[in-house]
């Protein structure tokens, strides 16, 4: 029975993450939630040169927001910037070349950014799915450096800047979202699952899965929908900070029987390790 229940939940979850799942959920969306003018508000989107990051940036730009694109590849980022400006008519699209897997680079960027700009919403979209062990120049495992440490450093460095603004928001990973939501009551934290979308990351990192599922995958815009909703909708902040969302609805962080809960001591150890890494890389910068 345990195997059967797990199989049922897996199939149900997989269906919900596809294009069909989005189309079903979207029947209950209120279009007015994201029909808003966010001119004067500043948004930072990491990994914004393609996929869900670019789709998110484009939708925010359509609504008048000032958008800071944080990307690793200069050439692809410049193409994305031009595309967003051309399609939306919004000239307030700014480009920053930063490798999120490089902690010193992230610190340097964040400290410069908070001295020169304001920030209302931070969208941590950048991530990687490296299937074989790969180390960065600092000796860090690539997935950890990008998906966890770099994102941790960027967020902690920008929290003081976010704290100055009304209705400040962050999208972050599950454990960090829950911890920071408790520690920073004046900032609204949330995390979301975009579903399985047809993005360059899925095509390159999960080729077999992509071939099997390509006719059922969500579009990039469908994958970005909940990110945009969390970033611009007044409805999102009526819900408690620290929740996990799928298709504009808060959902359980863990699937039944999945055994993915982390003991409190493990979460505390993770936060301590991240802070130690963060401060060590910060102290290695010239002039600090």
Q: What tokens were used for 170? A: 């962050």
Quote the pLDDT of residue 256.
56
DSSP class of residue 145? I
Give the residue among 200, 179, 201 at the shortest CA–CA distance from 189.
179
- Find out whether 181 and 244 touch, Cβ atoms under 8 Å: no
Quote the pLDDT of residue 132.
83
Cα separation, 27 vs 264, whole angstroms: 38
Beta strand pairing status for 249-251 and 243-246? antiparallel
Give the residue among 44, 209, 50, 197 at the shortest CA–CA distance from 117.
44
- 33: helix, strand or coil: helix
Quote the pLDDT of residue 3.
38
Tell me the pLDDT tens digit for each residue of 119-143: 999 999 998 888 888 899 999 999 9
Q: Which fold has domain 6-284?
A: Rossmann fold (3.40.50)
Cα separation, 263 vs 260, whole angstroms: 10
Q: Give mean pLDDT in consecutive 10-residue pieces for the chain, a chain of 288 residues.
A: 40 76 95 97 97 97 98 97 98 98 97 97 91 89 93 96 94 87 95 92 88 92 97 97 95 66 85 94 86
Place of tokens 């910060």: 282
Quote the pLDDT of residue 232.
98
- Domains of the chain: which residue ranges? 6-284
Q: What's the pTM? A: 0.92
């Amino acid at each position: 029975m345990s195997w059967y229940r797990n199989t049922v939940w897996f199939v149900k979850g997989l269906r919900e993450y596809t294009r069909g799942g989005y189309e079903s959920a979207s029947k209950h969306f209120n279009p007015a939630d994201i029909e808003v003018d966010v001119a004067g508000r500043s948004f930072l989107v990491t990994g914004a040169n393609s996929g869900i990051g670019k789709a998110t940036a484009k939708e925010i730009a359509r609504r008048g927001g000032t958008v800071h694109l944080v990307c690793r590849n200069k050439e692809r980022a410049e193409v994305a910037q031009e595309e967003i400006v051309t399609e939306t008519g919004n000239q307030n699209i700014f480009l920053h070349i930063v490798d999120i897997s490089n902690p010193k680079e992230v610190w340097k960027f964040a400290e410069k950014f908070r001295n020169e700009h304001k920030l209302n919403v931070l969208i941590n979209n950048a991530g990687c799915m490296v299937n074989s062990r790969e180390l960065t120049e600092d000796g860090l495992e690539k997935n950890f450096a990008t998906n966890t440490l770099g994102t941790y450093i960027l967020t902690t460095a920008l929290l003081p800047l976010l704290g100055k603004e009304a209705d400040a928001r962050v999208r972050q990973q599950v454990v960090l979202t829950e911890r920071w939501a408790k520690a920073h009551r004046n900032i609204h934290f949330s995390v979301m699952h975009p579903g399985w979308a047809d993005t360059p990351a899925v095509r390159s990192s999960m080729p077999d899965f992509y071939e099997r599922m390509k006719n059922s995958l969500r579009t990039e815009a469908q994958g970005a929908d909940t990110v945009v909703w969390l970033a611009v909708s007044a409805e999102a902040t009526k819900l408690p900070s620290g929740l996990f969302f799928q298709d504009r609805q808060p959902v359980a962080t863990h699937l039944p029987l999945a055994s993915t809960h982390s003991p409190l001591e493990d979460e505390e150890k993770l936060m301590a390790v991240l802070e130690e890494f963060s401060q060590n890389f910060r102290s290695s910068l010239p002039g600090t």
